[in-house]
Amino acid sequence: MKKFRRLAVLAGLAGLMAMPAAAADVSYTTVLSGSVVSVAPVGAAVKEGDVLLTVNSLAGPMPAARSDKDGVVKTVLVQPGSQVQQGAVVVVVETK
């Protein structure tokens, strides 16, 4: 009986560990102000380090937001041609 109980507890713990982590939404802000040149489209798969937003600054087109997690673009809050200010939320990514 004790063996069965131990087995049941171990099986339950193993099942909990095998559950995938819940997806979370991560909001990304722009580190530069300027005119939006390009933005990752909704539904695009992104990996850590991918450019999410490019703005036209005084030095020319520059990456203004990069993903720091793998995921899928869920929401885009800006469009090419619009103006953004540093610190504004521009893209929401659903992480895996």
Q: Widest CA span of the chain, in angstroms?
A: 74
Which residues, 6 or more positions from 33, have their beta carbon under 8 angstroms from its beta carbon?
Answer: 55, 57, 83, 84, 85, 86
Backbone angles phi and psi of 6, in degrees to 5: -60, -45
In this structure, CATH architecture of domain 22-95 = Beta Barrel (2.40)
* Span 67-81, pLDDT tens digits: 999 999 999 999 999
Distance CA 50, CA 28 (A): 12
Residue 89 pLDDT > 70: yes
Question: Where in the chain are the domains?
Answer: 22-95
Say what the pTM is. Answer: 0.75
**Residue 59: which pLDDT band, with cuts at 50, 70 and 90?**
confident
Supply the pLDDT for residue 53: 98
Supply the pLDDT for residue 58: 85
